[in-house]
Amino acid sequence: MPDDARHALLTRFFDHAPMFPPASLPPAEALAEDRRARESENAWMLGRLVWPAAQLSELPQEESRALAVVDRSTERQDEAVYLEGVPLDEVAARGLRAKIRCGGERVPTVEEVADFVRGCRSRGLVFKATAGLHHAYPTANGEHGFLNLLAAAVFGNEEEALRERPRAFALDTVSFRWRDQEAAPARLADVRGALFHSIGTCSFFEPVEELEQLGMLA
């Protein structure tokens, strides 16, 4: 188990989806961008390569990479299957995992995201979030922040956590903190393993650069 809170919270957190909007890179360029991410000093935060099921034939056989294969509302990560847009009771009954889309054509409200996190927690479901999560904190145009979503999963008080603005959260080697609450590495590792697995992002470098600017990776 990691003894560094940053690693407990963020190891393999960013599933890389360069072929998906808004990046929408063609396969060769997507692979080149993913290799650049793998070769970066922050590659420990890089999760799976997200790839469309319909274009698996365009993935070179020699490409050794853990995949998240997306086919419409289903995402497969080896044995784990994530369902998007499916009632949580059905996801739980099928023994699968949940997925929420936080951006794109429609951005869900804070209340909707909070209900989703609470619903997953109460049902013992692991979830993944995708789309519109390039930024650490909420943006002026209504995008959600990935740090806010992490705080909602770790600390509860979901609506409040999702509405926070810079610099409400602190992260260093010792803990992840919000107001008077603090979570040590063991707690963070538990949340990542049992509740909030990862996010999908078409850019690996954009969210990582924001963490650097916030001083959380120093």
Confirm whether 71 is domain-assigned: yes
Confirm whether 206 is domain-assigned: yes
pLDDT tens profile 131-170: 999 999 999 989 999 999 999 999 999 999 999 999 999 9
- Of 84, 90, 83, 119, the C-alpha closest to 104 is 84
Cβ burial 175-207 (10 Å sphere, 16+ → b, else e) = bbbbeeeebebebbbebbeebbbbbbbbbbbeb
The DSSP bridge partners found for residue 14 are: 46, 199
Task: Write down the H helix ranges in 85-145.
Answer: 88-93, 110-123
Range of 85's domain? 5-56+65-213
Total domains, the chain:
1
Q: pLDDT over 70 for what percent of the chain?
A: 100
Distance (Å, whole) CA 174 – CA 190: 16
Confirm whether 218 is domain-assigned: no
pLDDT tens profile 68-122: 999 999 999 999 999 999 999 999 999 999 999 999 889 999 999 999 999 999 9
Contacts of 64 (CB under 8 A, 6+ apart): none
Confirm whether 105 is domain-assigned: yes
Mean pLDDT value of segment 17-35? 95
